[in-house]
Amino acid sequence: MFQHFFQSTVSALCYEIAGEHCASHGEAAGEELAAPYNDVARFVLRQHRHMPQILGPVVKTATVLFAMTALARQGACFHRLPPPRRRAHVALWTISRLGPCRDLMKFYSSLVILALYSRPHLAQAVGQAE
């Protein structure tokens, strides 16, 4: 059950970050970066599984804490929030005075953007353009 909660949170976080990234780039993002983001979530979860044993549980605990603070502030766990409230919760952690909160959002943002721009059809299109 804990693992499912963690995976649901990571998936929702990936969808939120990827969606915001694509929205901020407008039409320039193109279809290659559009939803669905299941592949992005799988990539992020795979990266978490490959983390060193000392770091993986810390990131997992911080992620669950992130989801639980949404429950306290928003009345529902992060993965059950509607998109506008998800955005607000991510924004709170992104600009938090606490460094670990900001770092967790940077960690996930970095992995999500890496996964987005590593999509096979995008990589092929870039390779063909050269």
Q: Where are the domains of the chain?
A: 2-129
What separation in angstroms does the CA of 27 have from each of 21, 31, 51, 118? 12, 9, 35, 19
Whole-structure pTM value: 0.85
Q: Which residues, in sequence order, are CB contacts of 70 under 8 Å at separation 6+? A: 76, 77, 78, 81, 85, 89
For the chain, percent of residues with pLDDT exceeding 70: 88
* Integer Cα distance of 49 and 95 in angstroms: 27
Q: Which residues, in sequence order, are CB contacts of 34 under 8 Å at separation 6+? A: 22
89 neighbors 67 (Cβ within 8 angstroms): no
* Integer Cα distance of 126 and 28 in angstroms: 14
Q: What is the pLDDT of residues 24-79, one digit of tens each?
A: 766 655 677 777 888 999 999 999 999 999 999 999 999 999 999 998 887 889 99
Q: What is the mean pLDDT of residues 103-121?
A: 91
